[in-house]
């Protein structure tokens, strides 16, 4: 085991302790424990994992699937990379426990194409686990529990991190998100019930089963049990992956990573929101600042409009183009932030941009379009000193088709 | 031993392992990735053949190829260099790295060198923000890239190729 330390994910655990105990307990009890632990999805959305699994359990079908979402693509996120590199056995064990709980015999690890150099190492780990009886037929000697894992690669599409787009991609289609409902737990891969969970969620599962939901809940806040992995980057002395209990403040993170001069912190990547200095007392949790793990630190000399432009350029590249609010809205916001940077944006134009942002947030089909305007909106509102509005009334104009 | 999943079967043919699909559409991406890996692009003829194999229309294959940025219908350089342009990388000077590559390879971002050896591209976050500026060279991730080291990196890749050729 590597030498990382942390409360939950990086705490010590015997290999296969989780899966062994899960089989002793039976699938119903595993489901109850995960529900009781209040584990929520670590990809950022925060849906209760136990509840998600229970939907897959009650769905009637000949087959069920488990998918581990390793399509970590949110700018500034690299915590799953560390887990994949250093704790692959724990991820696969978590997937097997998920398979046991929901009654699936097959799991996919959907690995982003950027991480493909890890495949030989991951395959080696899988075959080790098959030899060790933790994957394959009759896992840990349990009659009637077969489960195996196949690694599937992404091909450089950010939107495939969205669970229904990921399933489309697994099925050999363009990675365009589906309408939800129906949710993947009812109609997932090839139409079968499919539980899709983030790498970090899967990694937490063996710990919860082996050490109990009570132990897990001793960390974090009331609404956000356990810990969160943060990938910290930008203007700080010690960038890297940190495991922290939920409820940690932005200020504490800055102290821990040596970022005394920070003026802003972007929490949640390009789709997250930008926190100005006066709000550094806010907490990382599902109730306050929710993040899939990305924490970008901006020093004194940074203009936040540069960040907003960079994020919108990213969304402009990655929007799948399927729904209108996102496809048409992102380029307008991108042009808007550039107008703002040039000092040519009037009050009326800015109001139009904010109104468009709101339309995108409620009318886009998937999380990409819904969250694409977040950073810009929070920067416009929180960093008024970073831009000047143009006074030229005659150039004021609304959007036109 | 391989997983017995719904969509994959592996057979041995002439001592070589081949993935044979039970012709389900779900195999499309792995098949395309395999072709991309071996040839550096997916030609019209490849798309036609894959479509026939899976029993779908070629245009469906084309629509998938053009959706994913790591799959291409045009031939790219032997080595693909992708420079991450996500915010933490920009903050640590990725633009200088791009300029250094452009200068060393005498091409612009998005282009391929005349000898077909290198293609230079920008890409989003590659999960190396703690080691920015970072790049992806073929399948490998490289962090803390200094503009001054770019020339050496390119020479290394060119030499590796010549060495292989000599063998």
- Same-domain pairing of A51 and A189: yes
Strand B135-137, strand B79-84: pairing: antiparallel
List the single best residue of B50, B109, B130, B131 to mutate versus A (max A Cβ within 10 A): B130
- Long-range contacts at A213-221 (CB < 8 A, ≥ 24 apart): A213/A33, A213/A34, A213/A36, A213/A37, A213/A38, A216/A8, A216/A37, A216/A38, A216/A39, A217/A37, A217/A38, A219/A7, A219/A8, A219/A245, A219/A246, A220/A245, A220/A246, A220/A247, A220/A285, A221/A246, A221/A247, A221/A283, A221/A285, A221/A287
At B4 the pLDDT is: 36
Instruction: Print the domain residue range for A116.
Output: 17-216
Interface confidence: ipTM more than 0.95:
no
CB contact under 8 A, B6 and A310: no
Per-residue model confidence as pLDDT tens digits over B119-162: 999 999 999 999 999 999 999 999 999 999 999 999 999 887 66
Which CATH number belongs to the domain containing residue A328 in this structure?
A: 1.20.1440.230
Q: Which among B29, B69, B128 is the nearest to A172, CB-wise?
A: B29
At A15 the pLDDT is: 95
CB count within 10 Å of CB A327 equals 15
Q: Which among B3, B32, B124 is the nearest to A148, CB-wise?
A: B3
- Same-domain pairing of A78 and A194: yes
In a domain, A5, yes or no: no
Closest-CA residue in chain B for A305? B87
Task: Please list the ranges in chain A whose pLDDT falls under 70.
Answer: 1-2, 393-401
At A378 the pLDDT is: 97
In a domain, B73, yes or no: no
Residue showing tokens 């050999």? A172
Tokens for A134, please give them: 């933790």
Residue ending a domain, among A248, A265, A299, is: A299
CA distance A48 to chain B (A): 26
Q: Judging by beta carbons within 10 Å of its beta carbon (0-12, 13-18, 19+), is residue A62 exposed, middle or buried?
A: exposed
A237 interfacial to chain B (CB closer than 8 Å): no
List the single best residue of A156, A258, A299, A337 to mutate versus B (max B Cβ within 10 A): A156
- Same-domain pairing of B83 and B47: no
Tokens for B34, please give them: 């395999």
- Same-domain pairing of B127 and B100: yes
Instruction: Print the domain residue range for B117.
Output: 79-166
Residue ending a domain, among B67, B89, B113, is: B67
- Same-domain pairing of B157 and B94: yes
Residue ending a domain, among A272, A299, A326, is: A299
Which CATH number belongs to the domain containing residue B93 in this structure?
A: 3.40.30.10
Domain count, chain B: 2
CB count within 10 Å of CB A117 equals 12
- Same-domain pairing of A346 and A252: no
- Same-domain pairing of A82 and A161: yes
- Same-domain pairing of B91 and B162: yes
Per-residue model confidence as pLDDT tens digits over A250-307: 999 999 999 999 999 999 999 999 999 999 999 999 999 999 999 999 999 999 999 9
CB contact under 8 A, B29 and A234: no
A 104-143 near B (Cβ less than 8 A): 106, 108, 112-117, 127, 130, 136
- Same-domain pairing of A315 and A355: yes
CA distance A47 to chain B (A): 24
- Same-domain pairing of B15 and B39: yes
Task: Please list the ranges in chain B whose pLDDT falls under 70.
Answer: 1-23, 161-167
Which CATH number belongs to the domain containing residue A49 in this structure?
A: 3.40.50.11540
């Amino acid at each position: 085991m590597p030498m990382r330390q942390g409360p939950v994910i990086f705490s010590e655990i015997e290999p296969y302790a989780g899966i062994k105990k899960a089989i002793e307990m039976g699938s119903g009890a595993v489901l109850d424990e995960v529900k009781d632990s209040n584990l929520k999805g670590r990809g950022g959305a925060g849906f209760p994992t136990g509840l998600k699994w229970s939907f897959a359990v009650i769905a009637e079908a000949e087959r069920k699937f488990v998918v581990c979402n390793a399509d970590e693509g949110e700018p500034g996120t690299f915590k799953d990379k560390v887990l994949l590199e250093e704790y692959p056995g724990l991820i696969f064990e978590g997937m097997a426990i998920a398979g046991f709980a929901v009654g699936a015999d097959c799991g996919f690890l959907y690995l982003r194409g950027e991480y493909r150099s890890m495949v030989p190492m991951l395959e080696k780990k899988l075959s080790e686990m098959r030899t060790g009886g933790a994957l394959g037929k009759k896992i840990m000697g349990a009659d009637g529990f077969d489960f195996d894992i196949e690694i599937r690669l992404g091909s450089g599409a950010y939107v495939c991190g969205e669970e229904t787009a990921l399933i489309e991609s697994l099925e050999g289609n363009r990675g365009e998100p589906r309408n939800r409902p129906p949710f993947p737990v009812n109609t997932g891969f090839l139409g079968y019930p499919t539980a899709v969970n983030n790498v970090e969620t899967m990694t937490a599962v063996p710990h919860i089963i082996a050490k109990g939901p009570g132990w897990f809940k001793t960390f974090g806040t009331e609404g956000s049990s356990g810990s969160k992995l943060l990938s910290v980057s930008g203007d700080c002395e010690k960038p890297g992956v940190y495991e922290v209990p939920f409820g940690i403040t932005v200020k504490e993170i800055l102290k821990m990573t040596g970022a005394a001069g920070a003026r802003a912190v972007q929490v949640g990547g390009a789709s997250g929101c930008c926190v100005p200095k006066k709000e550094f007392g806010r907490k990382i949790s599902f109730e306050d600042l929710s993040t899939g793990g990305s924490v970008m630190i901006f020093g004194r000399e940074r203009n936040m409009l540069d960040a907003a432009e960079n994020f919108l350029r990213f969304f402009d590249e990655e929007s799948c183009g399927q729904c209108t609010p996102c496809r048409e809205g992102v380029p307008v916001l991108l042009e808007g932030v550039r107008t703002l940077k040039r000092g040519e944006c009037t009050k009326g134009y800015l109001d139009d941009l904010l109104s468009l942002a709101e339309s995108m947030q409620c009318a886009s089909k998937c999380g990409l379009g819904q969250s694409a305007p977040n950073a810009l909106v929070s920067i416009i509102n929180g960093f008024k000193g970073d831009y000047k509005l143009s006074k030229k009334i005659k150039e004021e104009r609304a959007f036109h088709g | 031993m391989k997983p017995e999943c719904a969509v994959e079967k592996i057979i041995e043919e002439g001592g070589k392992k081949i993935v044979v699909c039970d012709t389900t559409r779900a195999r499309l991406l792995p098949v395309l990735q395999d072709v991309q890996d071996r040839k550096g692009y997916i030609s019209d003829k490849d798309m036609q053949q894959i479509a026939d194999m899976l029993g779908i229309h070629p245009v469906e294959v084309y629509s998938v190829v053009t959706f994913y940025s790591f799959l291409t219908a045009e031939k790219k350089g032997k080595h693909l260099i992708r420079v991450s342009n996500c915010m933490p990388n920009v903050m640590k000077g990725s633009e200088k790295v791009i300029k250094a590559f452009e200068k060393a390879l005498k091409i612009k971002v998005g282009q391929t060198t005349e000898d077909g050896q290198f293609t230079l591209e920008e890409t989003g976050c590659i999960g190396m923000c703690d080691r920015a500026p970072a790049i992806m060279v073929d399948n490998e991730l490289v962090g803390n890239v200094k503009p001054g080291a770019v020339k050496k990196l390119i020479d290394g890749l060119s030499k590796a190729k010549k060495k292989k050729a000599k063998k």
